[in-house]
A and B are shown apart, each in its own frame.
Chain A
């Protein structure tokens, strides 16, 4: 029971981005961190999985079913892509926005269960006190939490989170990632998270996919990928990896002398 990325070829215009990208066995109930330098195609990979872009070649399958064969609406119910944080300037309350994400899977209808689900998610993310506030009145971090609430309330089978913690303080980063882990296990879904903070990624992810030059250059447990030297090559930095007394991997990066 897993997500498979099979030999994906993709590019914008004539510029190729992915040249045979592949990773299989992204299991349900696990978190995979997608890491790599800026512009390497992490968001594009998520867009392909979500069906917002079409690959030139290759396929994506969930539990053996090709995602391309699903009707459009069903695909968007199955896979949810939370894009990188952008400020929303709409005259809508937090509750309105999260409910909107819930309703969109149901053709715009609202049921009492939808209201309950939204209330639940807001409580779990600790932002229930913001539910009546206009989203324009919120800080960047609070808006990011609202976006995360939209992702959870959709209850997808595949959750794709693009930098979900980039605007959050330390505590919120840990809380959100903790909740991502809890939801991933409780609902037995496939979760992919693009993260730049490798320490945070290694703390919560079961598996690392390192993207560089249009292919996956390293695939394995956080420990395997961080220790393998591929990270240094992809980012062009040196790293020290230490294991804290809690067992967490700590990644310390430094610029290499040229």
Chain B
């Protein structure tokens, strides 16, 4: 047994390597791949431009040159510029990029493992669990993490989001659980936490209610360099994990049976990805509140631009999410000078028209 048969040497099997013509399908595939690499590079360039714009815009009327100088050579523009750039604008701008990328990656993988383009990291109750956790801390002062102190709200949000993910995670390990039942359990959790949240809101004082609603709208103003380090660290670990499994994740689009026939450990892959998604989504929602739109739309933009080959789909999903949140961050400062609107509101207002225009310009039945 175990004879390895290389087809090109077999009789009756037609063409061989030498027959790869200059305009053959293989060469055209190579050209398409090169074009997709260029799109990934283009998306990163747009992201850089969005980041710089976000840092440059804001009350204070500094020129772009001043801001860039303060970043490259701290101290050169005086302490006022330094403080505003390094302590206020940069953390918010970098956080926008990182959280956007986290939600983009989490959304892309959620849509992949559920084989459902309507899924996003918050479909399955993760955001409502986080909101409930935050509301519990604000409304009752009850925290699940001892000695969390000033981080009580963030810690509670994270713990509840992660606990929801773990429930889902354990659920997938049960025998005979299909994707459909998995989604149904997620939706049930979503409604449960929403009801509990409403219960707390009903009992909260006026000030507490205001705080809860503000938290749920999402805000980048809570950005700190420590949170940035946590987000960057997570992305630095999870993105390579996903990229290493890119061909397996691409194959999942063919359905479980076909993917399993190709030797892909479907159940294990799904669990691994769910763990990654949980960490990304729980951290993002705990740090900046509910920004649900990006995880859904970022992957769709990527799908329109580069298709579902995960080698390109994943980085472009991350970049799309990051660009949307970065542009939204800029606009949240620019719409009314002196006022910073909650990022959650602006994201959908900016993202939806952009997304619809993209859908109308690139009509393809990928949904």
Q: A186-B11, A186-B12 are in contact. Are A116 and B261 (CB under 8 A)?
A: no
Q: Which of B13-21, B56-64, B160-168, B274-282 sits within the interface?
A: B13-21
B14 touches A187 (CB 8 A): no
Q: State whether A137 touches B365 (Cβ < 8 A).
A: yes
Contact B13 A120 (CB under 8 A): yes
| 8 A Cβ contacts from B1-25 to A | 1-3, 5-8, 10-17, 19-20, 24-25
| A14-22, A72-80, A234-242, A250-258 - interface stretch | A72-80
CA distance A140 to B327 in the complex (A): 42
With a CB–CB cut-off of 8 A, which chain A residues contact B258? Answer: 82-83, 86, 147, 150
CB distance from A48 to the nearest CB of B (A): 13
Tell me if B26 counts as interface (CB < 8 A to partner A). Answer: yes
Alpha-carbon separation in the docked complex, A76 to B260 (Å)? 9
Cβ of A104 < 8 Å from any Cβ of B? yes
Q: Which of A50, A103, A108 contacts B261 (CB 8 A)?
A: A50
- Are B263 and A77 closer than 8 Å at their CB atoms? yes
Confirm or deny: A95 has a beta carbon within 8 angstroms of a beta carbon on chain B: yes
Known: A131-B25, A185-B12. A115 touches B20 (CB 8 A): yes
Which among B32, B247, B308 has the highest number of chain A CB atoms within 10 Å? B247
Q: Which residue in A74, A82, A103, A120 is a CB contact (below 8 Å) of B7? A: A120
Closest B residue, CB atoms, query A82: B261
* Overall SS of chain A's interface: helix
Cβ distance B15 to chain A, nearest Cβ, rounded Å: 4
Q: Which residues of B, 254-288, contact A by the 8 Å Cβ criterion? A: 254-255, 257-258, 260-265
Is A115 in contact with B29, judged by CB distance below 8 angstroms?
yes
Whether A88 pairs with B254 at a CB distance below 8 angstroms is: yes
Q: Are A52 and B257 in contact (CB under 8 A)?
A: yes
Let me know if B255 and A86 touch, CB within 8 A. yes
**Which residues of A have CB within 8 Å of B26?**
95, 112, 115-116, 118-119
Q: Are B308 and A92 neighbours in the complex by a CB distance under 8 Å?
A: yes
| A100/B251 in contact, CB under 8 A | yes
B358 to chain A, nearest CB (A): 14
Q: Does A64 contact B (CB under 8 A)?
A: yes
* Minimum C-beta distance from B67 to chain A (A): 39
B261 near A155 with CB under 8 A, answer no
Give Cα A78–Cα B250 distance, bound, in whole angstroms.
22
Bound Cα distance A92, B17 (Å): 24
Whether A132 contacts B28 by the Cβ 8 Å rule is yes
Q: Say whether A226 faces chain B, with CB atoms less than 8 Å apart.
A: no
Asked if A7 is at the interface (CB within 8 A of a chain B CB), the reply is: no
The smallest beta-carbon distance between A78 and chain B, in angstroms, is 8
CB within 8 Å for A116 and B16 given contacts A108-B246, A186-B11: yes
User: Considering the chains assembled together, what is the distance between the CA atoms of A93 and B309 in angstroms?
Assistant: 9
Q: When A and B form their complex, which 4 residue pairs have the shortest distance between CB atoms, in order from nearest?
A: A76-B263, A115-B26, A90-B253, A108-B247
Interface of B with A (CB < 8 Å)? 1-3, 5-8, 10-17, 19-20, 24-26, 28-30, 32, 246-248, 250-251, 253-255, 257-258, 260-265, 303, 307-309, 364-366
